[in-house]
Structure 1
């Protein structure tokens, strides 16, 4: 008999807790606070579904993504994969161009080239940016003050063409990477190793 009383009491407590939690969630100020954070970051409210910060109306096809990649680097497509990175749906396309492999990430809804984490200096793209390699070197050395350049690469980061200039400081103790917008010459980041 005691077992039934304990079991019944436990069920009533558990049920009451579940009802209390359910009703608390409906009026919780935390939910409103999270909405405010999302709105503050620039995500607009809509009755439609949002992905990649765009209303989902249509996703580009794999063929369209490949065409975008080949328009930039007319080589041989080795691999295509649809993947999600931090909630952003991307086509990851590997292209062999003039003996080198390039990995491109293309937004699956906008067709924007988001990332190319390979050196583009030996491609036609290097001729299309407004800041040439010598200007990028000078900007980086002027920004840091002194040192010697170990390496320089042209890449695409977050949709921007960027020079990554690796500099060894004058003491030889530290390396620093200076990121320069390849179209404006603006220093957009510095990473001390």
Structure 2
């Protein structure tokens, strides 16, 4: 039981670090993506900086978190620690995203979507697409911009609620993947070897 409260506390501390790193990986590259003339950079770049790099960070910090309690933890302890870490990181990311899109750069999302549209048109023209296909693609992008909706607290809270569910599922997966039970014949007084 004592390890569970330690895991929550340490998970929250590491979650702050992960949350700050997620802010950096999301907001700073967005300026580049909103002005890049590379179709592939605009399409693939956000997947790398918004999904793969945070996933790698989460894995690295999961190992660090496991090390804080001696290198061994059960599935339950892993889920508690990882969920605490990722929930705090998700909260920080949601709040900072809201503040950024509402007050700092309210037109950034539209600039980014317009840049996708411009790069898509250029790419389709180079690929030999006809005007009808290009118009269809532009209509889809315009619909996506409209669906993105206004940045408000209700949408942010809804997004955070959904991300909480996703974070819990990720914590379950990480708990299953990264659990490490203490060997049966190792006594508690022995130091773990790694």
- TM-score above 0.5, yes or no: no
Higher strand share: 1
Task: Determine which structure has the larger helix proportion and give its number.
Answer: 2
TM-score (norm: length of structure 2): 0.22
Higher-RCO chain (CA-CA 8 Å, sequence separation at least 6) = 2
**Higher Cα Rg: structure 1 or 2?**
1
